[in-house]
Chain A
């Protein structure tokens, strides 16, 4: 139905274009004047007037039809089905009516439900017909309006270009809308969460046991939502990852900038980029299948108690993933140091190593710091590796051989499966998401500011 409608609108717009184009071809401008716009602009002008309002109507209709019909359906139900029922129960009845209307009958439905289902189907038919008729009317109206304005001196090009600019501005606003959508949805759900659980408990509480709240009628009081162990676990794993990625990344960058020949660089750089391009779910599987058992057997060999999903395994693998971020940003930073500084140092008789450690690194430090902060924000926001390799239980531990959990793991475990937006368990995920978003945002802004200032310093 939707595809058919879209195709019809597209076809109509195409026909309108042809009509406008042929009309403009036949113009005979008054003597002494010329035609303002090319025929193609006249065609596009008519096509826009036919297509865009109809498309907007269809989209708005599609967004509203379900809600309007459901509301009307609920009001039309006999009192025996609605009296004294909660919203959730009404929703169930509504779902049953929908199922019956589409012929999916599991248990013999009540006669009122069958009646309502018939009504639903009838109304849907009416809505379909009304939509088709209205769309047609809109398109005809648009065509008539636009066609009437075509004339040799009519500035069709200006009108079309204005419409195009409007479209581009609307597209540019999508980026802003996305950010706004993230902030609003995270904030509103997190506010709902903080009405159930006080923020002080969330930010300073030491017990994280969201599972308990799943049981019915235990919303108040049950379950512990102190997120400190989750934050500690996140930081622990991120710290392990940084401990792996930062030295490897910086030494790699130093070697590539200072020592490697062009041929080596041409091979090594793309290979390192592969590390960044591998999907994170692959790293997660690698951590579970290879790294975690290896760490466990190594731990047993040394007589250490090692958890099967230790923070070390997740952190190590995450570190591998982050190496290319650190190395390529450090590479850029080292390369951005002016040639004169390096040459000056070498001319003074310093070895390359001394030049690197005493001149280049201090000069490039802000850029490298920016890269490290960006990598840290990646590590904190990384999800799949920890979902697969880290633990679920929030234990307050900074022992890398223990199992810890992270913010992203908790978001996924709280939200995967059936979700109702009325208990603290699901809402807690949004509170965690808000914290995650805020922290990564601050890290990114700081990192980008450092990198930009660093670049300006040498430009």
Chain B
């Protein structure tokens, strides 16, 4: 710029046409920058849209589950009403399958036909009979989840035009299934198993219940630790601490902790909580403690901002009527700052809910087929469950991973929505 100013004569001597050309070039540059900005924003938002669309399209099918209605003859010869748990339910399942396909006579055919039902069918049957022993001796009609390949077939995710040797299902398999469809035995209700079942090796019976309970327990621990400690730290730094070397060190510390990669917290949890303190691996207690350390800086920072937003006149009025510093803070400043603190805490907890890496290191990625019953029992969390399912080779887990992500995102949206509502409702400007 400066050289131009130094030689004004040269600019003045330019011909009008030259000036017009120069202006056109300058305006073109202006348009280019504007277009580049629009392109950058469209690209970023387009990628966000692509992400959401991929997940919704991929995850949608997993919210329904193909089921086959089968009549199982629960014969007395196979199941003893006095001790139903010990019954031969494998055989009952075989009889049920044979009833579906009376023309199948060879063992090979029957075995192939049996694969339409989930391998967990006999356990479903057993649980039903244990719950109601009077079923013994009668025919039990049950809607059984179809095994994953047939579920994919029913949802139209398998291309029937693929050559037979490159499909998981042979032409005979497909013909059998089509006959069931024609008989009206196949239905596709909402996949409640996704929400009430724990994890399973088989996609058709795998659910998120265990992961959701594990996440809830870990978040509970995280909240119980980080909320009081974070608020107390913030109050101390903002209202009590004298400005000196110590309070500076604590401040710098908190700012740096907020930027430490999450996996380092996982290393800390592994080395200190599990290795040194001997707390159990995979437990929501340890996961929650690690998440609490990660959430702590967030809560401290938002609490300090909320305290700072309370005008000094409130404090001075309190001091004026003879309240002590503690009374001013606890009775007046903190209640006024609470909406802001709560909003920030919810956002911090939402971050903790989506955190995966530290939980992997403390072992919350175990394969568990039961829901955790307590803080020290092994558990998974929603994000680690997503990671586990994303690694599973069965095709059914692909759509279930997307569905699990949608569930996780749903929780995050609800939490952030509550935070926004709280802010709108309760926050006041002075």
Question: Which residues of A are at the interface with B, using a C-beta cutoff of 8 A?
Answer: 63, 66-67, 157, 161, 164-165, 167-169, 171-176, 178-179, 181-182, 185-186, 189, 247-249, 251-252, 254-256, 258-259, 268, 271-272, 274-275, 277-286, 288-290, 320, 323, 327, 351-354, 356-358, 374, 377-378, 380-384, 387-388, 408, 411-412, 415-416, 419, 421, 429-430, 433, 436-437, 440-441, 444-445, 448
Q: Which residues of B contact A437 (CB under 8 A)?
A: 260-261, 264
- A281-B354, A282-B408, A412-B263 as given contacts; A272 in contact with B29, CB under 8 Å: no
Contact A279 B354 (CB under 8 A): yes
Q: Give the nearest-CB partner of B387 in chain A.
A: A281
Contact A274 B408 (CB under 8 A): no
Name B33's contact: one of A285, A357, A380, A430 (CB within 8 Å).
A357
In the assembled complex, B356 has its CB within 8 A of some CB on chain A: yes
C-alpha gap A66/B228 in the complex (Å): 28
- A66-B278, A383-B263 as given contacts; A175 in contact with B253, CB under 8 Å: yes
Contact A416 B361 (CB under 8 A): yes
In the assembled complex, B235 has its CB within 8 A of some CB on chain A: yes
In the assembled complex, B39 has its CB within 8 A of some CB on chain A: yes
Q: Which residues of B contact A168 (CB under 8 A)?
A: 232-233, 235-236, 240
Give, as a whole number of angstroms, the nearest-CB distance from B216 to chain A: 16
Name B41's contact: one of A255, A380, A412 (CB within 8 Å).
A255
Contact A280 B37 (CB under 8 A): no
In the assembled complex, B426 has its CB within 8 A of some CB on chain A: no
Q: Which residues of B contact A284 (CB under 8 A)?
A: 387, 390
Contact A189 B271 (CB under 8 A): yes
In the assembled complex, B268 has its CB within 8 A of some CB on chain A: yes
C-alpha gap A247/B276 in the complex (Å): 46
Contact B264 A278 (CB under 8 A): no
- A381-B262, A411-B263 as given contacts; A63 in contact with B268, CB under 8 Å: no
Q: Which residues of A contact B182 (CB under 8 A)?
A: none
In the assembled complex, B386 has its CB within 8 A of some CB on chain A: yes
Name A259's contact: one of B34, B326, B355 (CB within 8 Å).
B34
Contact B32 A353 (CB under 8 A): yes
Tell me the count of chain B residues lying within 8 A, CB to CB, of chain A: 88
Nearest 7 pairs of A and B residues by beta carbon: A381-B261, A255-B37, A279-B354, A251-B40, A185-B271, A383-B357, A168-B236
Contact B260 A440 (CB under 8 A): yes
Q: Which residues of B contact A280 (CB under 8 A)?
A: 354, 356-357
In the assembled complex, B306 has its CB within 8 A of some CB on chain A: no
Give, as a whole number of angstroms, the nearest-CB distance from A303 to chain B: 25
Contact A351 B27 (CB under 8 A): yes
- A272-B44, A320-B47, A441-B256 as given contacts; A176 in contact with B37, CB under 8 Å: no
C-alpha gap A383/B355 in the complex (Å): 10
- A169-B236, A277-B350 as given contacts; A285 in contact with B390, CB under 8 Å: yes
Name A271's contact: one of B48, B267, B360 (CB within 8 Å).
B48
In the assembled complex, B405 has its CB within 8 A of some CB on chain A: yes
Q: Name the segment of B105-113, B127-135, B293-301 touching the other chain.
A: B293-301
Name A281's contact: one of B34, B47, B277, B356 (CB within 8 Å).
B356
Contact B26 A252 (CB under 8 A): no
Q: Name the segment of B51-59, B77-85, B95-103, B194-202 touching the other chain.
A: B51-59
In the assembled complex, B1 has its CB within 8 A of some CB on chain A: yes
In the assembled complex, B255 has its CB within 8 A of some CB on chain A: yes
21 contacts between A and B (CB under 8 A): A168-B235, A168-B236, A171-B230, A182-B264, A185-B267, A251-B40, A251-B41, A258-B37, A271-B45, A271-B48, A281-B390, A286-B51, A380-B261, A381-B260, A381-B263, A408-B261, A411-B267, A421-B275, A440-B260, A440-B261, A445-B256
In the assembled complex, B324 has its CB within 8 A of some CB on chain A: yes
In the assembled complex, B21 has its CB within 8 A of some CB on chain A: no
Name B355's contact: one of A258, A279, A285 (CB within 8 Å).
A279
Contact B233 A353 (CB under 8 A): no
C-alpha gap A381/B27 in the complex (Å): 42
Give, as a whole number of angstroms, the nearest-CB distance from A326 to chain B: 10
Q: Give the nearest-CB partner of A440 in chain B.
A: B261
Q: Give the nearest-CB partner of A38 in chain B.
A: B327
Contact A268 B387 (CB under 8 A): no
In the assembled complex, B36 has its CB within 8 A of some CB on chain A: yes
Contact B409 A282 (CB under 8 A): yes
Q: Which residues of B contact A408 (CB under 8 A)?
A: 261, 263, 357
C-alpha gap A332/B87 in the complex (Å): 70
Give, as a whole number of angstroms, the nearest-CB distance from B56 to chain A: 12
C-alpha gap A175/B186 in the complex (Å): 58
In the assembled complex, B338 has its CB within 8 A of some CB on chain A: no
Name A289's contact: one of B44, B356, B398 (CB within 8 Å).
B398
Q: Give the nearest-CB partner of A351 in chain B.
A: B30
Q: Which residues of B contact A67 (CB under 8 A)?
A: 278
C-alpha gap A317/B233 in the complex (Å): 37
Name A174's contact: one of B240, B296, B325, B387 (CB within 8 Å).
B296
Name B45's contact: one of A176, A249, A268, A441 (CB within 8 Å).
A268
In the assembled complex, B152 has its CB within 8 A of some CB on chain A: no
Name A388's contact: one of B44, B267, B363, B387 (CB within 8 Å).
B387
In the assembled complex, B180 has its CB within 8 A of some CB on chain A: no
Give, as a whole number of angstroms, the nearest-CB distance from A363 to chain B: 13
Q: Which residues of A contact B402 (CB under 8 A)?
A: 285, 289
Q: Give the nearest-CB partner of A426 in chain B.
A: B270
C-alpha gap A339/B5 in the complex (Å): 22
C-alpha gap A419/B270 in the complex (Å): 10
Q: Which residues of B contact A161 (CB under 8 A)?
A: 324-326
C-alpha gap A408/B356 in the complex (Å): 13
- A175-B250, A271-B45, A384-B356 as given contacts; A281 in contact with B386, CB under 8 Å: yes
C-alpha gap A344/B350 in the complex (Å): 44
Contact A157 B267 (CB under 8 A): no
Q: Which residues of B contact A164 (CB under 8 A)?
A: 326
Contact A429 B297 (CB under 8 A): no
Q: Using a CB-CB cutoff of 8 Å, which residues 1-53 of chain B contact chain A?
A: 1, 26-27, 29-30, 32-34, 36-41, 43-45, 47-48, 50-51
C-alpha gap A421/B281 in the complex (Å): 14
Contact B412 A172 (CB under 8 A): no
Q: Which residues of A contact B416 (CB under 8 A)?
A: 277
Name B272's contact: one of A173, A179, A181, A421 (CB within 8 Å).
A181
Give, as a whole number of angstroms, the nearest-CB distance from A307 to chain B: 18
Contact A176 B38 (CB under 8 A): no
- A161-B326, A383-B357, A416-B361 as given contacts; A178 in contact with B268, CB under 8 Å: yes
